[in-house]
Structure 1
Amino acid sequence: MTYQQQTQTRYGHCDSYFVESHDDGIYAARAEARERARAIARMQQRALAEELSRMTSEEYQEDIMEHMEHMESQTIPDVNSIDIQTEIQWFMRPYLLDFLVEAHAAFQLLPETLFLAVNLLDRYCSRRVVYKRHYQLVGCAALLIAAKYGDRKDRVPTVRELKSMCCSLYDDEMFTQMEWHVLQTLNWIIGHPTVDAFLQLALSEVAYDPEVEHMTLYIAEIALFHKEFVSTRPSILARSALALARCILSRTQAKTSDWAGAYDPQTVMSLSNHLYQPSGVLSRKYSSMHLSNVSTTVDEFLQHQAQIARRQAAPPTPPATVVLEEQKTTSEAYLGPSTPQKSHYGAVMQHGCLTPPITPENEQFGHGNMAKPQALPHMYPSTPTPDHPSNVQHQAQYYQNSYLHPQRT
C-alpha cells in the first residue's frame, strides 16, 4: 500500500499531502483566550489607575490650584512692555494670530497648545525687541515649543513644515536659533497654566457638555486677538468665558459658592462686546460640526439680541387726539395777534449737554443798542475726531501686503 493510500485510509480523501492536525485548533483557541485575558487585565489596570488618579487629584486639589494660580501670576505678559516696541504694533497681532490658528488647526494640535504658544509669544515680546520681519518667526518658534511641551509627539510640526507655511522666508537654522533664544529669554519656564487647563477643572465639577466646552474655547480664542485681555489671568478668563457661554446657550450657571461660579462680571461684559466682529479664520474654524458649530450659534444669538434691542428702543406712537389738538392750535394761531409763548423746545444742545436758552438783558431792549449775545463758555471738551477709516485701512492693507507677501533680500 502506497503512502497516499495509507493517508486516505487514515484521514479520508485529501488532494494534498499536508494534513492539518486537530491539535493546531486547540492551540489557536488557547492563544486567543490568553490574549483576551490580557486585554481584560489591561482594561482593569487602566480603570484602577484612573480611579487612583481621581482619588489623588481630589486629595491634592487645593495644592494643585494653589500652584497653578502661583504659576499664572509668574507667567503673565506685560502689556506696557509690548507697547514700547519699536516696530511691531498691535494692529499686526491679528494677522499673526490668524496664521497661528490656521497652523494649529492644520497640525490638529490640542487647544492648550494654542493658548500656550500665544503666551510664549507675548512673554518674549515683553522682554525682547522684535523686528517686524522676525515677528512671524517668533510665533512659529512659540508654536513649536508649545507643541513639544504638551502635545502628542506624532503631531509636533517639523521645521520643514513650518518653513513651507512661511513660504521659505526663513532658513532651517533660523527656526532652531529662534527656538533656543525664546527659551533662553524665558529662563526655560514654559509651565504656564492655560485657559484650557482651568476650563477643564471647572467642567469637571458638572456633567460633560461638549457644546459648552466648544463655546467657551471659541470665546477665549476671540479674547486672544485683543490687547485688553493679554494681561488677564487665565483663571479669571476661563470662568468668565464659561459664564458667557452658558448664558448664550441658556445653560444653568454655576453656584456662586463653587470655584467655577466666581467669575468677573466686568470681564464677561468685555468679552461680550468683542463677539460681534470675530476673526474670519476663527469663525470658519468653529463653524465645523465637530466643534458644535458654535460660531453660527453666536451669530444667531447676537441677531436675536439686536432684534430685542430695536423693539425696546422704538418710540411709542402718539395718540391721535394729541395730533388733532396740535393741528387745531396751529390753525388758530393765524386768526389774530397773540402773545408770543416760549418755545417748548427752547433748550439747545451745547457740546453734548442740555443748555437753557439765553434770556436777554435789560439793555438789549434799547433802540439801536442791541448787544450781541455772549457765547457760552466751553464747559466740555470736544470729542477728538478719529482717524479717517481709509487711513487705518490703508495701514492695515500695507502691513498685510508686506507681512504676508514679503520680498526676500
Structure 2
Amino acid sequence: MAYQQLTQSRYGQCDSYFVEAHDDGIYAVRAEARERARAIARLQQRALAEELSRLTADEYQEDIMDHMEHMESQTIPDVNSIDIQSEIQWFMRPYLLDFLVEAHAAFQLLPETLFLAVNLLDRYCSRRVVYKRHYQLVGCAALLIAAKYGDKKDRVPTVRELKSMCCSLYDDEMFTQMEWHVLQTLNWIVGHPTVDAFLQVALAEGPFDLEVEHMTLYIAEIALFHREFVSTRPSVLARSALALARCILSRNQAKTSEWSGAYDPQTVMNLSNHLYQPSQVLSRKYASMHLSSVSTSVDEFLEHQAQLARRAAAPPTPPATVSLQEPKPVMAMYGPQTPQKPHYGAVVQHGCLTPPITPENDQFGHSNMIKGQAIHHAYPTTPTPDHPSNIPHQAQFYHNNPYLQAQHV
C-alpha cells in the first residue's frame, strides 16, 4: 500500500506502472541543440584546416610552381605532328570542340576538365594516326578520362550517355577500347597543369573578382579553337588571357613584380585578334547570367572599339564626291580573324552539336606521299573494329620534333 502511494505521488494516478513520457519535446530540443553544436564544431575545424593548408601552401608555393612549370613543358602537344595527319584537318577542330563544350556543359563538369580533355586529345593526335571517323571518339575518350581524373564522381559521364550524344555512331566497346588506347599512348601520364590551374594562382594575388575570372576563362576557351595556341604554355596563356580580360573590363593590371603581371604582349595581341566571330556554342554558353554574361560584355567592348576606330578614321570635312567605306575595327587590323567552318553544316542531335560525317574520298588530299617522299609508318594507328583491309591510310610522325616554347617575359 505504501509503495502504491509512493508511485501515485511520483507519477500520478494510472492503471499501469508503464507510464508514457510526456516530455518528448524536451529531448528533441536537446538533441537538436547537440547536433547544431556538432555542426558548428565541424565548420570551425574545417576553417582551421583550410587556414593551416593555406599557410602550408604559401610555404611550398615556389616548389609547387616549379613542378607545374616542369609538367607543362612535358605535356605540351606538338602542333607540327598534328599538321602532318593524313585525314583529320584543322577545319574539323571547331566541330569537335563545339561538341565537347556542349557535353562539358551538359554534365556540369569543372572548367579544368575541359582544358585537360583538349590537352589529352591534342597529345594523342601528336603521337597516333587518327582517322576522321574516329576523331569524335577520341574526343569523347579524352573527356571521359579528364572527368574521371579530376572531377566529381557523380558527374562523370557514362559510356551510355556519351554513346547517346554521339547518335550511336560507336559501340560501347569502342569507347572502352579507345579510352585504354589513349592512356597507353600517353604512358598513363594524365596530369597536366591546365590554364585554369595557373589562373587560380594568378587570381590569388589580388582581390576576388568573379567577372574577371569568367572573362579569362572565356578568352582561354576561345584559344582552344585555334592552331596557334595549341603549343602555347598554359602559364603564358593564363596570364595573357587575364591581362586581356582586365583590359576589356577596365580593371587595373597587376604589377610587373607579381607573377600574374609577367604576361606576354604578343600572346595578348594574338588573343585579341580572335575575339571577333567566336564559336556560337561558346558565345551562348558565356552569355548566361551565372557566367557573368561575359560574351555580351566582349561584344559591347568590340562595338565601342569599332566606334572609336570610325571616329578616328573619318576626315573632318570629307569631300561630297568621295564615298566613305566602313573602316575595320582596331584589333581586326592586327592579324587574321577566326577561321570559319566552311565545308559542312552542323548536325544537331539531342540538343548537342556533333561533327558531321566527312566523305570517304580524296577531297582532303589523302595520299601516302608528302612532297614526293614516301611515308613510312612510325606509329600505329587508332584502334578500330574494322578489318585491316578497310584502313586505307597511315602517316609518318617524327619522334624528335621540338616543342614550341613560349617566350618568358
Structure 2, unmatched stretches of 5+, are 1-6, 321-338, 361-385, 387-409
SS of 1:254's partner is coil
Instruction: Give the deviation of 1:404 after TM superposition.
Output: 2.7
**Per the alignment, in what secondary structure is the counterpart of residue 317 of structure 1?**
coil
Alignment equivalent of 1:395, drawn from 343, 359, 363: 343
Matching residue of 1:86? 86
Quote the offset at 1:207 in angstroms: 1.1
One-letter code aligned to 2:343:
Q
Q: How far is the alpha carbon of 1:399 from its aligned partner?
A: 10
Shift of 1:35: 1.3
Number of the residue aligned with 1:302: 302
Aligned: 1:228 with 2:228: yes
Give the structure with higher Rg (CA): 1
Q: Distance in 2 between matches of 1:134 and 1:313?
A: 49
Give the superposition deviation at 1:11.
6.0
Instruction: Determine the structure 2 residue equivalent to 1:192.
Output: 192
Would the alpha carbon gap of residues 301 and 39 (structure 1) be closer, same or farther in structure 2, given more than 3 Å must change?
same
| 1:53-104: CA deviation from partner (whole Å, max 9, x where unpaired) | 0000000000000000000000000000000000000000000000000000
Cα distance in 2 between the residues matched to 1:101 and 1:12 = 74
Q: Is the 8 A contact 1:92 1:399 kept in 2?
A: no
SS in 2 for 1:188: coil
Aligned to 2:101: 101
TM-score normalised over the length of structure 1: 0.76
The corresponding residue for 2:124 is 124
Aligned counterparts of 1:11 and 1:140: Cα–Cα separation in 2? 74
1:299-325 alpha-carbon deviations (Å, 9 max, x no partner): 0000000010011011232799xxxxx
Q: Distance in 1 between matches of 2:318 and 2:115?
A: 55
In 2, Cα distance between equivalents of 1:41 and 1:12: 45
Aligned equivalents of 1:50 and 1:393: distance in 2?
Answer: 47
Q: How does 1:10-159 map to 2 (within 5 A)?
A: 19-22=20-23, 24-159=24-159
Measured in 1, the distance between the counterparts of 2:305 and 2:250 equals: 13
Query: Cα deviation per residue 1:275-317 (whole Å; 9 max; x = unaligned)?
Result: 0110000000000000000000000000000010011011232
SS of match in other structure, 2:196:
helix
8 Å CA contact retained: 1:219, 1:275: yes
> Secondary structure of the residue that 2:257 maps to in structure 1?
coil
**Which residue of 2 is the match for residue 372 of structure 1?**
none
1: CA distance, partners of 2:232 / 2:220: 11
Amino acid at match of 2:22: S
TM-score w.r.t. length of structure 2: 0.76
Q: Is 1:404 matched up with 2:352? A: no
**1:333-367 deviation per Cα after TM superposition (whole angstroms, max 9, x unaligned):** xxxxxxxxxxxxxxxxxxxxxxxxxxxxxxxxxxx
Overall identity of the aligned pairs, in %: 82
Deviation at 1:407, TM superposition (A): 10
Q: Offset at 1:41?
A: 1.5
Distance change (3 Å), C-alpha of 1:232 and 1:166: same
Q: Residues 130, 38 of structure 1: CA spacing in aligned structure 2 closer, same or farther, 3 A cutoff?
A: same
8 Å contact from structure 1 (residues 91, 396) kept in 2: no
1: CA distance between counterparts of 2:341 and 2:90? 14
Q: Distance in 2 between matches of 1:37 and 1:26?
A: 17
For 1:104 and 1:302, the matched residues in 2 are separated by: 28
Gaps of 5+ in 1: 1-5, 321-388
Amino acid at match of 1:21: H
Report the Cα distance in structure 1 between the residues aligned to 2:27 and 2:315, rounded to whole angstroms.
88
Q: Does the CA-based 8 Å contact 1:254-1:261 persist in structure 2?
A: yes
Task: Give the Å deviation of 1:191.
Answer: 0.8
Counterpart residue identity of residue 102, structure 2: E
Task: Give the distance between the partners of 2:195 and 2:115, measured in 1 at CA.
Answer: 7
Residue 205 of structure 1 deviates from its aligned partner by: 1.0
What is the aligned partner in structure 2 of residue 271 from structure 1? Answer: 271
Which structure is richer in relative contact order (CA contacts within 8 A, separation 6 or more)?
2
Q: Take 2:283 and 2:35, find their aligned partners in 1: how far apart are those partners? A: 47
Match of 2:366 in 1: none
Change over 3 Å in CA distance of 1:399–1:133 after alignment to 2: farther
Alpha-carbon separation, structure 1, partners of 2:292 and 2:58: 30
SS of match in other structure, 1:235: helix
Q: 1:211 to 1:402 in 2, by over 3 A?
A: closer
Partner residue, 1:206? 206
Decide which structure has greater helix share. 1
Any conservation in 2 of the 1:219–1:245 contact (CA below 8 Å)?
yes
**AA paired with 1:81?**
S
Q: RMSD across aligned C-alpha pairs, in angstroms?
A: 3.0
